[in-house]
């Protein structure tokens, strides 16, 4: 392999396109940041600091998800897998690890300095990739330059944001404004006169599916650690923890089944639908990560370590499960459904959000999800697919 090969655009219908070992390594390293974000979410919820927990988690998770998403779509179009490409990608991974190291400081002291530095490292490494693509792909040079300019400009604004005091009333509004600018860059760039990038629908669907698997796996690991510690503490909690463990396993299994029931590549038929589909996964990935934190909160409640009510402990699971279900239905399943079946998921979402007021709510959430999967297998598979 040569040191530097031209970064020509890959074909959007390239046969047998699969994720590379570097992409899988990238995902695994990013999950370190996901786990670091989920841990303080768990502790803050267990202490009853709900708004602080949600604000911190959603802000930190945006940085993780957005950097991952931008690399994923770039790699789908321009992965040359040469030495320079690998080194630049490893720099992005290093930035993700710096970001992960700053999560605790951001949650506890609202100090986003370390997170911002890690984020900027990731983003500027991607700028270098776009500049290289511009040099090698004359047809899409305007698109690549727009990406490089837009990303660089927003990084300057992120650094200027650090001048705000930690507890400033402008912190959240400025953050939201910068998020909107970040989201606008791909829309602006992909509509350049050079044409959109040649992302591969099958490859993109596989990459998103693999990251969903990894994030769900992280939730399982977080819950297992919490259960292990609790079981070893006091025998009197064994019955309650066993019921919770069985329910947690069923919940995660059902979430996996629901996401992978249908392939998504057939939905990525236009730039508009692809962007909406890609952006909507912020809620799927974030909710999947939050399920693990919710299960850990439930363990703390059963073992009397949480300073919250049973209703709030149940909502720590019910809310991320409901968000996950709604967006998987909206992005993945709704286009495949017809008739009354397409309303089943919104109804289940409402039911899950009401269950925390009922005794044994976590067990009931698991039962409802298992029933939903059963309906998908029996009724859903027999219903004609409108886009098949």
What's 333's DSSP letter?
I
- pTM here is 0.91
Same domain membership, residue 116 and residue 208: no
Q: How far apart are CA 111 and CA 285, in angstroms?
A: 24
Task: Say if residue 56's pLDDT is above 50.
Answer: yes
Domain stops at, among 190, 221, 237 = 190
Q: Which residues of 223-259 are buried (b: 16+ CB within 10 A; e: fewer)?
A: bbebbeebbeeeeebeeebeebbebbebbbbbbbebb
pLDDT over 90 percentage in the chain: 39
- Give me the helices (H) in the chain, please: 21-46, 50-78, 83-101, 103-109, 113-136, 141-161, 171-190, 201-231, 238-259, 271-302, 310-328, 344-354, 361-378
For 46, 159, 239, 295, 364, the CA distances from 246, given in Å and listed in that order, are 21, 46, 11, 11, 12
- Asked whether 329 and 369 are in contact (CB, 8 A), the reply is no
- pLDDT tens digits, residue range 262-309? 777 778 878 888 889 999 999 999 999 999 889 889 888 888 777 888
Cβ-proximal residues to 189 (8 Å cutoff; 6+ apart), any chain: 143, 144, 146, 147, 150
Burial 40-54 (b: 16+ CB within 10 A, else e): bbbbbbbeebeebbe
Q: Say if residue 229 is in the same domain as residue 337.
A: yes
Confidence class of residue 234 from pLDDT cuts 50, 70 and 90?
low
Q: How much is the average pLDDT of 239-247? A: 83
Which of 30-39, 85-94, 235-244 has the weakest average pLDDT? 235-244
> Are both 361 and 222 inside the same structural domain?
yes
Find the radius of gyration of the CA atoms of the chain: 22
Q: Judge if 118 and 205 occupy the same domain.
A: no
Instruction: Based on the fold, state whether residues 33 and 150 are members of the same structural domain.
Output: yes
**Of 190, 216, 238, which marks where a domain is finished?**
190
Same domain assignment for residues 26 and 145: yes
Q: What is the pLDDT of residue 43?
A: 84
Largest CA distance in the chain: 69
Q: Residue 1's pLDDT is what?
A: 43
CA torsion, ordered 305, 308, 313, 318, to nearest 10 deg: -150
Domain harbouring 262, CATH code = 1.20.1410
Q: Does 235 lie in the same domain as 182?
A: no
Q: What is the mean pLDDT of residues 71-97?
A: 90
Alpha-carbon distance of 158 to 162, in angstroms, equals 7
Are both 43 and 107 inside the same structural domain? yes
What is the count of structural domains for the chain?
2
Q: What is the pLDDT of residues 198-231, one digit of tens each?
A: 888 888 989 999 999 988 887 787 777 767 766 6
Residues 327-385 pLDDT 10s: 999 998 877 766 667 788 899 999 999 999 998 899 999 999 999 998 888 876 655 55
Q: Which residues contact 176 (CB under 8 A, 6 or more apart)?
A: none
On whether residue 343 sits in a domain, the answer given is yes
66 plus 144 within the same structural domain: yes
Contact 95, 119 (CB under 8 A): yes
Mean pLDDT taken over the chain? 86
Weakest mean pLDDT among 46-50, 126-130, 291-295 = 46-50
Tokens encoding 273? 């639908």
SS3 (DSSP) at 260: coil
11 in a structural domain: no
Q: Is 88 left (phi over 0), alpha (psi -120 to 50) or beta?
A: alpha
In a domain, 15, yes or no: no
Tell me whether residue 4 is in a domain: no
Do 152 and 283 fall within a single domain?
no
Residues 114 and 212 in one domain: no
Domain membership of residue 2 (yes or no) is no
10 within some domain: no
For residue 176, pLDDT beyond 80: yes
Number of neighbouring beta carbons within 10 Å of residue 276? 13
Its sign, for the CA torsion 54, 57, 60, 63, is negative
Q: Residue 325: what pLDDT?
A: 95
Q: Which residues 6+ apart lie within 8 Å of 60 measured at CB?
A: 37, 103, 106, 107, 115
User: Does 340 map to a domain?
Assistant: yes
92 CB-near residues (< 8 Å, 6+ apart): 26, 67, 71, 121, 122, 125, 126
Pick from 47, 154, 169, 62: nearest CA to 110: 169
| Residue of 18, 37, 51, 97 whose CA lies nearest to 282 | 37
Residue at 14 is within a domain: no
Dihedral sign, Cα of residue 298, residue 302, residue 306, residue 310: positive
Domain end residue (candidates: 126, 155, 190): 190
The domain of 184 spans 21-190
Q: What is the spatial distance between Cα 118 and Cα 66, in angstroms, rounded to a whole number?
A: 13
Least confident of 99-108, 159-168, 192-201, 220-229: 220-229
CA distance 376 to 362: 21
Listing DSSP states for 23-77 in one string gives: HHHHHHHHHHHHHHHHHHHHHHHHTT-HHHHHHHHHHHHHHHHHHHHHHHHHHHH
Shared-domain flag, residues 303 and 244: yes
Q: Which two tokens stand for residue 359?
A: 């005794």
């Amino acid at each position: 392999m040569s040191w530097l090969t031209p970064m020509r655009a890959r074909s959007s219908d390239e046969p047998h396109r699969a994720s590379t070992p570097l992409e899988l390594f990238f995902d695994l390293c990013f999950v370190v940041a996901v786990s670091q974000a989920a841990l303080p979410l768990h502790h803050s919820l267990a202490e009853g600091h709900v708004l602080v927990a949600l604000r911190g988690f959603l802000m930190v998770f945006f940085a993780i998800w957005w950097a991952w998403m931008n690399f994923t779509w770039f790699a789908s179009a321009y992965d040359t897998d040469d030495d320079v490409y690998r080194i630049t990608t490893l720099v992005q991974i290093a930035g993700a690890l710096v970001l992960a190291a700053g999560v605790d400081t951001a949650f506890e002291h609202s100090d986003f300095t370390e997170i911002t530095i890690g984020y900027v490292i990731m983003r500027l490494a991607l700028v270098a990739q776009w500049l290289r693509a511009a040099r090698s792909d004359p047809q899409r040079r305007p698109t690549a330059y727009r990406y490089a300019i837009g990303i660089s400009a927003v990084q300057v604004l992120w650094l200027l944001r650090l001048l705000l005091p930690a507890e400033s009333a402008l912190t959240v509004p400025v953050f939201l404004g910068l998020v909107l600018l970040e989201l606008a860059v791909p829309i602006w760039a992909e509509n350049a006169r050079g044409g959109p990038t040649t992302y591969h629908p099958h490859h993109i669907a596989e990459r998103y599916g693999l990251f969903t698997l990894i994030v769900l796996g992280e939730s399982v690991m977080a819950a297992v650690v919490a259960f292990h510690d609790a079981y070893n503490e006091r025998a009197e909690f064994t019955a309650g923890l066993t019921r919770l463990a069985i329910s947690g396993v069923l919940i995660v299994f059902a979430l996996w089944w629901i996401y992978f029931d249908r392939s998504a590549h057939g939905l990525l038929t236009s730039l508009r639908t692809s962007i909406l589909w890609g952006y909507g996964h912020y809620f799927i990935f974030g909710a999947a990560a939050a399920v693990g934190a919710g299960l850990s909160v439930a363990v703390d409640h059963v073992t009397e370590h949480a300073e919250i009510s049973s209703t709030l402990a149940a909502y720590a699971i019910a809310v991320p499960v409901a968000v996950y279900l709604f967006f998987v239905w909206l992005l993945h399943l709704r286009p495949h459904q017809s008739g009354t079946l397409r309303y089943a998921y919104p109804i289940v979402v409402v039911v899950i959000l009401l269950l925390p007021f009922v005794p044994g709510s976590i067990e009931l959430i698991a039962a409802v999800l298992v029933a939903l999967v059963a309906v998908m297998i029996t009724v859903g598979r027999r219903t004609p697919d409108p886009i098949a």
